[in-house]
């Protein structure tokens, strides 16, 4: 059986097919993530008590920490799996829209819908992202690249290949700038949603549409530079 190192990082963040884990270990890991997600779906971030996660997944508490660095790490892993689903969805049905603005708006609508589908879970995932532990930085950077890739392909009206390595994707300078800013707006809107819980899918989508309209208009000359 392979030696398990601190683990879980570099795993969700990069592509390597999930390190070298035996099947039984993969199953264990899956049970852990599933249990955490179930608990989050029912009661949000706070309901994900690691003792419960351990019990539900038939794993000792200590083992849990062999697979993940901590609570946020598990949820970040789930977040990344959500991203993968989103990528797959974008691949199967490309974002529609005649203009970049329409496509970008549509992309954010679909991404947001995924998160708000189960508000409890979505809020938990976002809290995990914004929790700001130094150790999760790599994970988050990885997620960011994936989101950037999706956004920019939507912007370009290109097809998205979910299986291509993320690092192979190279946006232009101006694309990167726009993407970074828009993702910032999106992220802030999501945090606002988690904290205040007022806005719904349409509100957030509208916000993103407004921001994208401003930024795409301003970049009109540079977006294909």
Partner DNA sequence: CCGCCGTTTGGAACGTGTTCTAATTATTCG
Partner DNA sequence: CGAATAATTAGAACACGTTCCAAACGGCGG
Residue 134: name its binding partner from DNA, a copy of itself, none (Cβ under 5 to 8 Å by kind): a copy of itself
CB of 18 to DNA, least distance (A): 14
Tell me, by CB under 7 A, how many residues bind DNA. Answer: 24
Q: Does 50 bind DNA (CB under 7 A)?
A: yes
Which one, 55 or 161, has the nearer CB to DNA? 55
Which one, 19 or 101, has the nearer CB to a copy of itself? 101
Which one, 36 or 86, has the nearer CB to DNA? 36
CB of 34 to DNA, least distance (A): 15
Q: What is the 3-state secondary structure (H, E, C) of the chain?
A: CCCCCCCCCCCCCCCCCCCCCCHHHHHHHHHHHHHHHHHHHHHCHHHCCHHHHHHHCCCCHHHHHHHCCCHHHHHHHHHHHHHHHHHHHHHHCCCCCCCHHHHHHHHHHHHHHHHHHCHHHHHHHHHHHHCCCHHHHHHHHHHHHHHHHHHHHHHHCCCCCCCCCHHHCCCCHHHHHHHHHHHHHHHHHHHHHHHHCCCCHHHHHHHHHHHHHHHHHHCCCCCCC
Which one, 59 or 179, has the nearer CB to a copy of itself? 179
Q: Does 62 bind DNA (CB under 7 A)?
A: yes
Which one, 127 or 146, has the nearer CB to DNA? 127
Binding site for a copy of itself (CB under 8 A): 123, 126-127, 130-134, 136-137, 140-141, 177-178, 180-181, 183-189, 191, 194-197, 207, 210-211, 213-219
The residues that touch DNA, with contacts defined as CB under 7 A, are: 1-4, 22, 24-25, 28, 46, 48-51, 58-63, 65-66, 70-72
């Amino acid at each position: 059986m392979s030696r398990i190192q601190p683990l879980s990082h570099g795993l969700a963040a990069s592509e390597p097919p999930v390190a070298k884990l035996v099947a039984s270990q993969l199953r264990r890991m899956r049970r852990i993530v599933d249990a955490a997600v179930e608990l989050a779906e029912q009661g949000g971030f706070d309901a994900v008590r690691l003792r419960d996660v351990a019990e539900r997944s038939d794993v000792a508490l200590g083992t849990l920490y062999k697979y993940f660095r901590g609570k946020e790490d598990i949820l970040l892993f789930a977040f990344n799996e959500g991203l993968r689903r989103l990528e797959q969805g974008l691949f199967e049905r490309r974002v529609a829209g005649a203009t970049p603005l329409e496509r970008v708006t549509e992309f954010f609508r679909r991404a947001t819908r995924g998160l708000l589908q189960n508000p409890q879970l979505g809020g938990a995932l976002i809290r995990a992202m914004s929790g700001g532990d130094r150790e999760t930085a790599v994970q988050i950077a990885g997620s960011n690249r994936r989101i950037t890739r999706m956004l920019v392909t939507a912007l370009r009206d290109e097809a998205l290949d979910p299986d291509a390595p993320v690092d192979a994707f190279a946006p232009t300078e101006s694309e990167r700038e726009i993407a970074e800013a828009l993702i910032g707006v999106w992220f802030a809107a999501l945090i606002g949603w988690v904290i205040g819980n007022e806005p719904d899918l349409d509100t957030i989508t509208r916000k993103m549409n407004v921001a994208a309209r401003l930024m795409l208009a301003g970049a009109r000359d540079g977006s294909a530079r």
